[in-house]
Each structure stands twice: as C-alpha cells, then as structure tokens.
Amino acid sequence: MSTGVIGFCRFSFFGPSDTKLSYDDRAKAFETLYDPVRMETRFLLFEHLLMQAMAHQTNPNFTLHVMSSDVMPDAYKRRLTSLCNDVNAVQLHLCKSEKLGAEIAPMLKDAGERHSKLAQFRIDDDDALSINFIDRLHHWASMLWQEALITMPRGLMLYDEENTPKCQPFFRSLTGAGFAYLTVGKPRRNVFQFSHLASGRRYPAMADPTLTSHIQTFTSSCDTSFRARRKIAQFSAQMSEKKSEKELGVMTREALDLDFPYTTMSDLLDLQATANAPEQLAPIAAQ
C-alpha cells in the first residue's frame, strides 16, 4: 500500500477555527489577530522552531501545508512566503475563504487519490517536531491496517516560571502537537475535525512514547494562553512525581541531542525570553 504523510499548520488564519476570537466585531478580530507585536512573536517561533524542524526531518517524504489568509497584511504575507519557500516540503496557502475545512478538502482529495493510506498530522505555528517525527509516522502508518489515531505523547515544554524561561519534559496522551489521523482509502475527515484529547473514545489509537516528538511553547501570544498556567502546573506535577530535577535535566538534554539537534538549551531559553518580552521585539510595519 502506498502511504502518504501530510501535515497542516494554521498561521494566523482569519477564521473561527484559529483565533478563539469573537467575530461579532470583525474589525476588532482582525486587529487582534494581526497585532504587530503578536505577529512578530509568531514569526519568531515559526522561523526558529517549526521551520527548522521541517527542514531537518530525517525522512523528507511529506508535505506540510501552512494555512493562512489572503487578507493578511502584505508585509506579513511577504515574510511568510519567504520562510515557507526556504523549506522544500512546505507549501503555503493564502486562503480566500474563512472556512478551513473547505480549503483543506481539495488537498485531502488529491492526496487520497494518490495514496491508498494517508496519515494527516497537525502542528501549531509556535511549536516544533522531532527530526524523527515524519520517519516514525511513516513507520506506524505502514504497520496499521485500519482507520486509527497515532499519538507520540512525550514532549518538551518551553515556558516561564517566575519570569525565568525553563524547558523540561512532559507527557500528554493524544496531545495536539503532532496529533495524527490515519485513513485507509478515501479520507472521511480532516485532522482538525477532532477534539484531540477526547478522540480516543471513538477511534483506536496507537501511542509511541519512545521518542520526544515535540516542543510545545507557552507564551502570551498563544491562542490558549489563558489555560497556560494550569496546564504547566499539571504537567510539571506529573513529571516531578516520578523524576528528580536532576533527572529531568538529563532527559531534556538527551531529547535535544536526539530529536532537536539543530538547537540548544541556551538557544531555546533565549528564544522563550524574547518571545515573552514584547518590548524586545521590533514589530513589522504592516503597511
């Protein structure tokens, strides 16, 4: 069976699925989404985390579709186009519709016609994936014979604690970073049509905790920042119950060496500090 792997990333897509904004006041929603400081933060993380991860994949047999909007100010469109053009496997879509599903549908149809099995994955624009992620996804997709979810729950979280950037391991089954959906034959749904944490109640799921598959960032610009403190506290407590601080440090360094060799702990902490300090950013002129 021919197996295809395609990913989807929303980059400031002007539509209800991305922004968590109220669209009662569309002008305010637009202003909030394309706020210069917010955009500079998103570009910073997108360039240094996600695009680096895509460029360094050990298996180049995939396509990542970056979904953005044609209404995005021109300065941002030019910068985003340049970043996406730097990575062969990345395709940028500046969509006219605000309905993400309608924009994704033709891509799924095309991929479904070219492959007998299709693994879709999702990733946020401020996160990263292991350089081994695509290769591991191909491996599990080749082993499965029916519609199923694939989750790689071991990751690193990059966050602030008392205004100090930190990076440590965490574990979250069916996490959204790299959440994957395998179909055999014609795809019935896109990977964004799942409540990923609840999806295991309806679909069989294969979990692979043997690699550190992702880095998830927590910054003030993320669309779910209002949940960040609770999630960080929960993940930290789970790990500290099982491992000492020294052991967590060793795990983090090993994960960076094996799965994120294009960056260092120092680089990540500096990146987090900059992303959470808007006064250090030089906002792009969006005119």
Separation in Å, CA 154 to CA 29, 115, 132, 215, 284: 34, 29, 13, 9, 35
In this structure, is residue 267 part of a structural domain?
yes
In this structure, is residue 286 part of a structural domain?
no
**pLDDT value, residue 107:** 94
In this structure, is residue 109 part of a structural domain?
yes
- Structural domain containing residue 234: 3-280
**pLDDT value, residue 276:** 84
- Count the Cβ atoms, other than its own, within 10 Å of residue 183: 23
Phi, psi of 158 (to 5 degrees): -110, 120
Answer whether residue 20 shows pLDDT above 70.
no
Quick one: how far is CA 73 from the chain centroid? 23
Tell me the per-residue pLDDT of 151-191, one tens digit each, with 9 for 90 and over.
999 999 999 988 899 999 999 888 889 999 999 988 989 99
- Cα separation, 213 vs 129, in Å, equals 6
In this structure, is residue 287 part of a structural domain?
no
> Which CATH number does the domain housing residue 35 bear?
3.90.550
DSSP for 135-153 reads HHHHHHHHH--SSEEEE--
In this structure, is residue 42 part of a structural domain?
yes
In this structure, is residue 62 part of a structural domain?
yes
**pLDDT value, residue 286:** 46
- pTM assigned to the model: 0.91
**How many domains is the chain partitioned into structurally?**
1
In this structure, is residue 285 part of a structural domain?
no
Tell me the per-residue pLDDT of 252-285, one tens digit each, with 9 for 90 and over.
999 999 999 999 999 999 999 999 876 666 665 4
In this structure, is residue 178 part of a structural domain?
yes
Q: Which of 34-38, 58-62, 202-206, 231-235 is the least confident region?
A: 231-235
